Structure 1
Amino acid sequence: MPLVIVALGIIVLLLLIMKLNMNTFISLLLVSTLVAIGLGIPLTKLTEVIEKGIGTQLGDLVLIFGLGAILGKLVSDAGGAHRIAVSLAKKFGKKRIQLAVIIASFILGIALFFEVGLVLLIPIIFEIGLAFDLPLLYVGMPMVATLMATHGFLPPHPAPTALVQSYHANTAYVLLTGLFVAIPAVLFGGIVLNKLLFRIMPTVYAHSGSEELLETKREFDGQTLPSLRLSIFTCILPVFLMIFAELTTDLISMPALIKKIIVLIGSPPAAMMISVLFALYAMGIRQKRSMDDLEKTITKSIRQISMLLLIIGAGGALKQVMIEGGVGDYVAHLFKGSPLSPLLLAWLVTVLLRVCIGSSTVAALTAAGVATPLVGSTGVSPTLIVLATGAGSIFCGHVNDPGFWLFKEYFNLNLKDTLKTYTVMGSVLSVIGILLISFFSLFM
């Protein structure tokens, strides 16, 4: 019965968002209320449960998301993103241009949310395509594959970071293992699959992209751009700090006070804060940008994630309702002793939610409410179940996915062609991801 109620709730959510075009945040809160009532949560506790879900879900994620958005925007507005992409393109040449795009997108994708990365990288991708006389979609698909993979598998992106908390996993372990999943998936999807699609439907790749949307792109003076090394270091600094802290404290014996300081520095909020402070100097003061200009950059970056934070909080409310209503425990009991792998179960649940809801982050957070009890009851690796859920969250992005429409408009595709490219890419990456994760489960 609990699963029927949840399924009906998801159907209502789908109707509200897709058919009635209701705001996702409001839809999630409304469905959370309806599902809570259906699961028998007392009306006197309803507000408390929803508030708990929102508060628990956001917590220090507000810091991570906010600081991550600021970091990405500082690097972009200073021309650091432009420097990275163009420099790599020149070094790799036309034959290996796809690999250059993947490397650049990986560097930037770690620090940027998917939609932000897409918007910021597409003008650069267009420049590279025009410079090498290549179909713009042919150059752009590796970027999309990389941004999808970083969004699904690597902290400090919203879904993986939130899942680390939900499953009580280790951020550094998720990040390191996630790289071993993301890199092969991106190489296959961004290069092999892209070339295959290009051969199968060359007319789709012949689209030139939306020149109208490119008219507002920012022009940079090559002489005043930050250096390549400085731009790359600024982007990867938070990742470096988190990995350094985890490996140092695990492998090296040290006084308790020093260990506490290193642990603090390596925590996601602190690592992001340190990186933002460094970026203010490296991408701001060092580039002779005024404090007023930097303030405008920071303000714009926060505006870009304001609704995302609300949606994540509402997704946490729905997850908490499912937990309080006993859905997770019911599913754990239902599949107890089942030959179905907990990793596959988490992936399948997330896939279904992703297809219905559209938002990869909300799908992952909602699925965590169902899969969390499996960690304790089956002994599955928290690291791998984080990645399995993340893999499911990038499957089959379609008309209820904001990134779908951004991709469609920028590359001037019709709906059918967008489904053939964007949707197929995400689905293939997701399947490759769960296959690799299942393989790693043999050793972890």
Structure 2
Amino acid sequence: MPLIIVAAGILALLLLIMGLKLNTFVSLIIVSFGVALALGIPVENIVKTVETGLGATLGHLALIFGLGAMLGKLIADSGGAQRIAMTLVNKFGEKNIQWAIVIASFIIGIALFFEVGLVLLIPIVFAISRELKVSILFLGIPMAAALSVTHGFLPPHPGPTAIAGEYGANLGEVLLYGFIIAIPTVILAGPVFTKLAKKLVPDSFKKTGSIASLGEQKTFKLEETPGFGISVFTALLPVILMSIATIITLIQKTTGAADNHILVAIRFIGDASPAMLISLLVAVYTMGIGRKIPINKVMESCTTAITQIGMMLLIIGGGGVFKQVLIDGGVGNYVAKIFEHSALSPILLAWLIAAILRISLGSATVAALTTAGLVIPLLGHSDVNLALVVLATGAGSLIASHVNDAGFWMFKEYFGLSMKETFATWTLLESIISVCGLGFTLLLSLIV
């Protein structure tokens, strides 16, 4: 019965969002109240469950997400992202142009959220395509692959950051293992898959696409932008700080070294929130004040970044509410009982549930958070590495993007594709990332 109620809740969510065109956050809250009543949560406890779900999710995420949005905006508005892309394109040359796009998109994708990275990089891809007379899709698939992989696997992106908070996983470990998984996944889903896509839908590589909907884009003369080295350093600083802290902590655990003030300080600086704050302060100088840009202009970029992520934060909070309803309503425990004596790995189960929810709901973040509500009770019976469960959930939440996902329509319109061509490129690309992510996570589970 609990699973039937959850299925009915998901169908109601689809009806409200796709049928009645209701706002996603409002739909999530309505469905959460309805499912809570159906699951038999006492009426006097429902509001508390809703508030707990919203507060617990955003309490962990809002600081990292907000600081990350500001950091990305400063790098974009200063021309740092354009400098990274154009320098790599010039260095790699025409023959290796795909690899230049992959590396540039990967670096920029770490600092910028998926939609922002897409909007920023697509005009650059179109410009390079015109100059070198190559297909926009030949460059667009590797770009989308790199952005999607960073979005699904690497903090401070909302999905992996939120799931890590729900599972109680170490964010530094998620980042470190995420990198190990992300690099081969990008190669397979980017340059390698492009060759397959060219055989599947050759006509799509002749399309010219359109970016008219993006409006007037802010472009810079290369000499007006920050240097390549400082742009890359600023974009990757949170990753560097979190990775150093994680590696030193792992070495300390392995060697059994005693704790001291230096190690405590490193762990503090490498924690996600201080790492993001330090990185933002560095960006304020390197992308702003150090280049003689007035502080009020720099702060304008930060303010714009926050206003742009307001609804996204609420949607993530709404996903957290639905997750909490599933936990408090006993659905998670019910699922745990079903799989209590199962040989199925929690990694595989998390991927499977997230994949089903992603196909049903469209939103990767909502699918991932709902999965957490079903999987958390299972983790008490297992010694599985929590960081790997985070990555498996993230991988599952990316699969088979189709008509109920905004990314599907963005890719279709920008590259001027038909529905069939979009399924054969974008949907298949996302599915390859998802399956590769699971495969590499399972391989990593044999080692860590």
Question: Could you tell me the TM-score, scaled by structure 1's length?
Answer: 0.97
**How far off its partner does 1:340 sit?**
2.2
Q: Does 1:116 align with 2:120?
A: no
Q: Deviations 1:43-94 (Å, cap 9, x if unpaired)?
A: 1111000000000011131111111111111001111100111110111112
Deviates more, 1:360-369 or 1:108-117: 108-117
Q: Does 1:279 align with 2:259?
A: no
Distance 1:397 1:13 in 2: 17
Q: Does 1:67 align with 2:67?
A: yes
Q: Does 1:48 align with 2:48?
A: yes
Aligned position for 2:16: 16
Aligned position for 2:437: 433
**How far off its partner does 1:368 sit?**
0.7
Distance 2:28 2:144 in 1: 27
For 2:272, the aligned partner's letter is P
Distance 2:211 2:265 in 1: 50
Q: Does 1:312 align with 2:326?
A: no
**Contact 2:201–2:424 (CA<8 Å) still a contact in 1?**
no
Distance 1:169 1:219 in 2: 40
For 2:74, the aligned partner's letter is L
Match of 2:333 among 319, 329, 332: 329
Q: Does 1:241 align with 2:251?
A: no
For 1:346, the aligned partner's letter is A
**Contact 1:249–1:262 (CA<8 Å) still a contact in 2?**
no
Structure 2 matches for 1:407-422, cutoff 5 A? 407-422=411-426
Match of 2:374 among 348, 370, 375: 370
Q: Deviations 1:28-50 (Å, cap 9, x if unpaired)?
A: 00010111011100111110000
For 2:166, the aligned partner's letter is S
Distance 2:116 2:445 in 1: 33
**How far off its partner does 1:211 sit?**
4.3
Aligned position for 2:99: 99
Deviates more, 1:250-259 or 1:83-92: 250-259
Q: Deviations 1:162-182 (Å, cap 9, x if unpaired)?
A: 111111211122111111211
Q: Deviations 1:368-409 (Å, cap 9, x if unpaired)?
A: 111112222122221211111010011011122122222222
Residues 339 and 248 (structure 1), Cα distance of their counterparts in 2 relative to 1, 3 Å cut: closer
Q: Deviations 1:121-152 (Å, cap 9, x if unpaired)?
A: 11112222222211111101101111111111
Aligned position for 1:403: 407
For 1:239, the aligned partner's letter is V
Distance 1:200 1:19 in 2: 32
Question: Aligned residues, how many?
Answer: 444
Structure 2 matches for 1:161-172, cutoff 5 A? 161-172=161-172
**How far off its partner does 1:320 sit?**
0.3
Residues 211 and 177 (structure 1), Cα distance of their counterparts in 2 relative to 1, 3 Å cut: closer
SS at match of 2:288: helix
Distance 1:258 1:33 in 2: 48
**Contact 1:78–1:287 (CA<8 Å) still a contact in 2?**
no
SS at match of 2:133: coil
Q: Deviations 1:179-224 (Å, cap 9, x if unpaired)?
A: 1211111101101111111133221121212142355111212212
**Contact 1:86–1:128 (CA<8 Å) still a contact in 2?**
no
For 1:439, the aligned partner's letter is L
Structure 2 matches for 1:283-298, cutoff 5 A? 283-298=287-302
Match of 1:340 among 344, 347, 355: 344
**Contact 1:397–1:404 (CA<8 Å) still a contact in 2?**
yes
Percent of aligned positions with the same letter in both sequences?
A: 51
SS at match of 1:74: helix
**How far off its partner does 1:337 sit?**
1.2
Question: Could you tell me the TM-score, scaled by structure 2's length?
Answer: 0.96
**How far off its partner does 1:293 sit?**
2.0
SS at match of 1:110: helix
SS at match of 1:286: helix
SS at match of 2:371: helix
Deviates more, 1:432-441 or 1:205-214: 205-214
Structure 2 matches for 1:172-211, cutoff 5 A? 172-211=172-211
For 1:380, the aligned partner's letter is V
Distance 2:203 2:92 in 1: 27
SS at match of 1:169: coil
SS at match of 2:209: coil
Structure 2 matches for 1:251-262, cutoff 5 A? 251=251, 256-262=260-266
Q: Deviations 1:82-123 (Å, cap 9, x if unpaired)?
A: 011111011111221111111111111111111111111111
Distance 1:365 1:323 in 2: 11
Distance 1:303 1:412 in 2: 30
SS at match of 2:208: coil
**Contact 1:224–1:287 (CA<8 Å) still a contact in 2?**
no
Q: Give structure 1 stretches of 5+ with no counterpart.
A: none
